[in-house]
Structure 1
Amino acid sequence: MEEVQENNEVVIKLEGVNILQRDHLVLSDVNLELRKGEFTYLIGKTGSGKSSLLKVLYGEIPIGKGKGEVAGFDLNKLKSKQIPFLRRKLGIVFQDFQLLSDRTVNDNLLFVLKATGWKNKQQMDVRIRKVLDMVGLMHKGYKFPHEISGGEQQRVSIARALLNDPEIVIADEPTGNLDPKTTQEILVLLHEIAQRGRAVLMATHDYANMLSFSSRIIKCEDGKLVEGNMEQI
């Protein structure tokens, strides 16, 4: 396991930001700060703007008015050629795993390392072993995705998100396809990742599990981003 890092540095900051999808205003006057070591739930009904907000954070949607900074990158000045470098500072976990079915777990991770500029075979092997150990899959690297459970596949996708030691992990409905027991295990893992010093932002509809793992809540509602609490759910 990685040692716990004591650091409350702000790694996401949005001030007065408007978020648009195809010229349609989705969220207005968004103000948000996330710090290293902080776990935050992002909730809201379908179509409320959760996915659009996440896309702004990883550079897929440009911000409208306002100011934004993510992992040291100024979103107002972000050029398309800088987006891959921004995304190396982020670990993104999706609901549907998005693993390459014709490659082993190790080779899925190796593919990402090579795509993000790693060259040294020994260093890549060490990094793959480390992230698989972090997610409890040290001995599953030789298996193909179809040979492991859905929960294990999601752990692989979390390991993949951690490969480049990101400052921020963005998890978009990461437990949406999992059973309740596996969901609990993934939530424990994501909270541990935050405790090791990364900011974790998790979009979810799964409000029941938030009762077991209480944390900060932000909510997309009526075109605004607001701080929430368990009583509002």
Structure 2
Amino acid sequence: MRHQLIDVRKVTKIYKGRIHALRNITFSIKQGEFVYVIGASGAGKSTLLKLLYREEIQTFGSIKIGNTFASQITHKQLYLLRRQLGVVMQSDLFLSNRTVFENIAVCVEAVSGANNSKVAIRTNEALDVVGMLDKSSRKINELSIGQQKRVAIARAIVNHPSIVLADEPTANLDAKAALEIMKLFFKINSMGTTVIMATHDSTMVNTVRERVLELSKGELVRDEQDGGYTRYPDNKDVYIW
């Protein structure tokens, strides 16, 4: 039986100006799940992911990752949470003057303080998973957008996280490149890693059926899994059928 990995309870996020990015969100995710987070622009998808990896802190409610409440972690302890998380952003930031290998290796060094041999092994393993091992000596600016996204995914998985968060990873990619990137995430998920992906790609969501969390104006309006629906009318009651 898969254990509960993420527990989000009655989470609200309010920004300055009384802007409600999220309203009373509640859900849990088990180890090894693949979850799409969908919704229109401004629905709260990116905010939700930022709360999960503690770039932001919720205004109300609780977020538990494993056995840790995210909001209770001090800045100095953040690395303990982020060891469990791999993050793929909409816009990937790289060390442009470094090689592909160096961009990945620096993440291993920063998190684990491993020796050079272990750094090399982990880096090459991650690059092999995403099909970029033969490009390890290239500079980032020599790669296509799709190849850069593969490097971003390698960077996210290099420290063997239990969770990978991806924010619109197929944005700005053509259909062929987007499909290849999605195949990588399914491959990573098949290895036991929990994947949570914010996406606008309705074709992929409808074609490869996985659990779907739908946000609308900051509210969780649909939780579809295993062929059934969990609906949250007005975020007050929960009906399952």
Same-fold call, TM cutoff 0.5? yes
Does structure 1 retain, via aligned residues, the 8 Å contact 2:21–2:217?
A: no
What amino acid sits opposite 1:19 in the alignment?
K
- Equivalent residue, structure 2, for 1:87: 82
Does the C-alpha gap of structure 1 residues 153 and 64 become closer, same or farther in structure 2, counting only changes over 3 Å? same
Map Cα deviations across residues 142-174 of structure 1 (whole Å, 9 max, x no partner).
111122222111111000001111111000011
- Equivalent residue, structure 2, for 1:9: 3
Q: Measure, in 2, the Cα distance between the counterparts of 1:138 and 1:90.
A: 23
1:202-213 to 2 correspondences below 5 Å: 202-213=197-208
1:73-84 to 2 correspondences below 5 Å: 73-84=68-79
Does structure 1 retain, via aligned residues, the 8 Å contact 2:88–2:167?
A: yes
Question: In terms of mean alpha carbon deviation, does 22-31 or 194-203 score higher?
Answer: 22-31
Does structure 2 retain, via aligned residues, the 8 Å contact 1:50–1:220?
A: yes
1:102-181 to 2 correspondences below 5 Å: 102-181=97-176
Percent identity between the aligned chains?
Answer: 36
For residue 154 of structure 1, give the secondary structure of its aligned residue in structure 2.
Answer: helix
What amino acid sits opposite 1:8 in the alignment?
R
Does structure 2 retain, via aligned residues, the 8 Å contact 1:36–1:194?
A: no
RMSD, aligned α-carbons: 1.9
- Equivalent residue, structure 2, for 1:67: 62
Q: 1:28 and 2:23 equivalent?
A: yes
Runs of 4+ with deviation above 6 angstroms = none
Does structure 1 retain, via aligned residues, the 8 Å contact 2:14–2:59?
A: yes
Question: In terms of mean alpha carbon deviation, does 87-96 or 155-164 score higher?
Answer: 87-96
Q: Measure, in 1, the Cα distance between the counterparts of 2:146 and 2:66.
A: 29
Q: 1:46 and 2:38 equivalent?
A: no
Deviation at 1:228, TM superposition (A): 4.7
Q: Measure, in 1, the Cα distance between the counterparts of 2:94 and 2:71.
A: 32
Work out the number of aligned pairs and report it.
225
Deviation at 1:94, TM superposition (A): 1.4
Deviation at 1:198, TM superposition (A): 1.1
Give unmatched runs, 5+ long, in structure 1.
Answer: 1-6
Q: Measure, in 2, the Cα distance between the counterparts of 1:139 and 1:72.
A: 39
What amino acid sits opposite 1:69 in the alignment?
K
Match of 2:218 among 207, 211, 223: 223
Greater relative contact order (Cα 8 A, min sep 6): structure 1 or 2?
Answer: 1
Give unmatched runs, 5+ long, in structure 2.
Answer: 228-241
Map Cα deviations across residues 120-150 of structure 1 (whole Å, 9 max, x no partner).
0000000011111111112111111122222
Deviation at 1:88, TM superposition (A): 1.8
Q: Measure, in 1, the Cα distance between the counterparts of 2:200 and 2:101.
A: 31
Does structure 2 retain, via aligned residues, the 8 Å contact 1:43–1:50?
A: yes
Q: 1:192 and 2:187 equivalent?
A: yes
TM-score of the aligned structures, taking structure 1 as reference length = 0.90
Does structure 2 retain, via aligned residues, the 8 Å contact 1:21–1:52?
A: no
Q: Measure, in 1, the Cα distance between the counterparts of 2:179 and 2:61.
A: 37
Match of 2:53 among 58, 78, 96: 58
